[in-house]
Chain A
Amino acid sequence: MTLLRSILHRLATMAVTLIGAAVIVFFVIRVVPGNPIAMMLPPGASEADIARLSAHYGLDRSIPEQFVIWLGGVLHGDFGTSISLRQPVMPLVLGRLPATLELSIFALVLAVIIGGASALAGTLWRGTKTEAAIDVANGVGLSVPDFLWALVLILLFGVLLPIFHISGRISPSADLPFVTQFYVFESIARLRFDLWWDLLKHMFMPALALAIPLAAIISQLLKQSLKETMHLDYVVLARTKGYGENHVILSESLPNAVLPTLTLIGVQFTFLIGGTVIIERLFSYEGLGNMAIDAVINRDLPLIQGIVLVFALIFTLINLLVDMTYALLNPRLRNA
């Protein structure tokens, strides 16, 4: 019963969060200067034309009225029509979402591998020059933001040593057999490893730029937690049983030390997804973030609302997932 209640409580919290995000965005983008109709029409359009188009998109009504109409549509699955692209919002957003999800997940995997490995290495060789070097690298990784890493990477691996692609999601010449927008997953499912490799070469640099700051945070916190557990009695007891340092770190320390890092990854992953907006722009990667910037430039109100709502939904789902994983890994919370 308590499980059911906590799930219901969770869902209610998520609904409130989403409505809150929707309300704030809806009102804010209508209060800031800029008129979507003016962006659509050529200079010198008549007042009558502007008024007609405004009425067509419902922008002549008061903001609360517009909100009620929009919310009514959303509850029926209708998120409105994009003003600049003249297509329904939801198919547009869903068409771009997989590209962003694939990029974010790849970046997360990179960050966990890089950050986790360097934390383990730093713990194994604690007190040596290796640990000092890892600390310096973490400091640099943390103090440079993702979009600057993007520029550095473009210079390094796009210009000086051009081994990765710096623009787009896949080579334009490629013949695409895909039926979904999840290109990476589908290329694996179809055993088209040529396309998979091409996708990876496009995705690697934006993903790495997103991953570096997160990897540094993971490395720093996980190493700290690991080192704290190394003096604990149960770790010392495991040493007396005949285990070596590697086993002690991986089997005794890591399962306990990983918990705070896990919570942090959850929070930071939402920041990483936020970072895709600028990173996708820099690498001309056809994802949701790139579309968001176009939508803002064009004052495409329904499209902005749709994109923000999808981002908000992803953030709340990630938080839910983190809490569930935490309970799974920590036996003391399982029945709480």
Chain B
Amino acid sequence: MSAFLTIRNLSAMLRGGSQRVLRSVDLAVEAGEVRGLVGESGAGKSMIGKAVLGILPSAVSIVEGEILLDGKNLLAMPPKERRRTIGTVAALIPQDPLTALNPSRRIGRQITDRLVDILGWTKANAHARALELLDEVKIENPERVMASYPHELSGGMRQRVLIASAFAANPKLIIADEPTTALDVTVQKQILKLIREMQARHGTAMLFVTHDLGVVSKVCQKLSVLYSGMIVEDRTVSDFFAAPRHAYSKALLAATPKYTDPFASLLPVDEAVIAAADEEVKAADRGWRHG
């Protein structure tokens, strides 16, 4: 199998800063597989997804590396071509369904806009496709929902709409940026199940960004662990859960609460482990010469 998304040696810095926020990241997502990207808040896991989609905040700039989508380097393209390429083959399932839909536009238009404006579908085809997708994500009465405004739908419904919207254009790659973090626990399970079903049915490659190893074990086949902008472990999920290699990964796994015994394992990551990981980051920075 060939990798659909390949990130090679990607480094990014804050504008005007001296520290890297992404440290020579290597990562690949093969066609049809789901790769989890795990790390604490601030580790840079969302930033990798944003770099792929071309939506990094203006304060962050990529200083080195390649992002290959279907073999083509996004970073070498002119901005307009890059936008079109991303819009055509990739899609985002965002973190917070309450803020990711435009409050003043109808749901239907927000699903069909990419199909019509970017991919050149007819309005009728796009409408039919949106109905089909809303049905797939188990939204009742899709015609009515398409005519609704976001404030008329619940959080779970809105996330279903966003999932439908992400799959509408038959993308080859979907980046799910903590898609269940902002939802109620009960809704989280349904949405997670739905994302897994949709991914399997459409065979879409997926980069699943999360801080929750429990979610990774349910959805992903492969896993990258990120610490301070640096990939510290890259394994299949089954290998990882059997025996994590890196000390930080082990500590992270130990710190994950278990549903069977919620109080037993609420341990913070050991300070010695953190110190060792920080040393590793410093060593990597010493060995890195830009340009």
Contacts and interface: CB of A to CB of B under 8 A. Distances in A.
Interface in A204-245: 231-234, 236-244
B90 interface: yes
Contacts of A244: 80, 83
Which of A127, A236, A244, A255 has most B Cβ within 10 Å? A236
Nearest to B98: A233
B149 interface: yes
A233 B165 CA distance: 15
B102 A239 contact: no
B99 A239 contact: no
Given A255-B104, A329-B104, A331-B149, A233 B55 contact: no
B196 interface: no
Given A233-B94, A331-B151, A241 B114 contact: yes
A5 interface: no
Interface string B49-71: 00001110110000000000000
Given A241-B113, A241-B118, A244-B80, A234 B102 contact: yes
A240 B92 contact: yes
Nearest to A332: B151
Contacts of B102: 234, 238, 252, 255-256
A330 interface: yes
A233 B104 contact: no
Contact of A256 (B92, B104, B113, B114): B104
A331 B90 contact: no
Contact of B54 (A231, A233, A239, A332): A239
Interface string A233-277: 110111111111001000010011000000000000000000000
Interface string B108-139: 00000110011000000000000000000000
B88 interface: yes
Given A233-B94, A233-B96, A240 B87 contact: yes
B101 A243 contact: no
Contact of A234 (B55, B91, B99, B117): B99
B85 to A, nearest CB: 8
B84 interface: yes
B86 interface: yes
Contacts of B83: 239, 242-244
A247 B84 CA distance: 13
Interface in A57-73: none
B100 interface: yes
A242 B84 contact: yes
Which of B54, B88, B100 has most A Cβ within 10 Å? B100
Which of B92, B104, B117 has most A Cβ within 10 Å? B104
A332 B88 CA distance: 32
Given A256-B104, A331-B151, A240 B90 contact: yes
Contacts of B100: 233-234, 237
B94 A239 contact: no
B118 A256 contact: no
B105 interface: yes
A167 B53 CA distance: 59
Contacts of A237: 92, 94, 100, 162
B88 A242 contact: yes
A243 B113 CA distance: 10
A237 B113 CA distance: 12
Contacts of B118: 241-243
Which of A241, A244, A330 has most B Cβ within 10 Å? A241
Interface in A282-308: none
B53 A240 contact: yes
Contacts of A241: 87, 91, 113-114, 118
A330 B104 CA distance: 6
B87 A242 contact: yes
B214 interface: no
B188 to A, nearest CB: 19
B99 A233 contact: yes
Nearest to A258: B104
B103 interface: yes
A331 B104 CA distance: 6
Nearest to B95: A233
Closest 7 A-B residue pairs measured CB to CB? A242-B87, A242-B118, A241-B114, A233-B100, A233-B99, A234-B102, A255-B104
22 contacts: A232-B99, A233-B96, A233-B99, A234-B101, A236-B55, A237-B92, A237-B162, A239-B54, A239-B83, A240-B54, A240-B87, A240-B92, A241-B87, A241-B91, A241-B114, A242-B87, A243-B87, A243-B117, A244-B80, A255-B102, A330-B104, A331-B151
Interface of B: 53-55, 57-58, 80, 83-84, 86-88, 90-92, 94-96, 99-105, 113-114, 117-118, 149, 151, 162
Given A232-B99, A241-B87, 17 more contacts: A127-B58, A233-B94, A233-B100, A236-B94, A237-B92, A239-B83, A240-B86, A240-B90, A241-B114, A242-B86, A242-B88, A243-B118, A252-B102, A330-B104, A331-B103, A332-B103, A332-B151
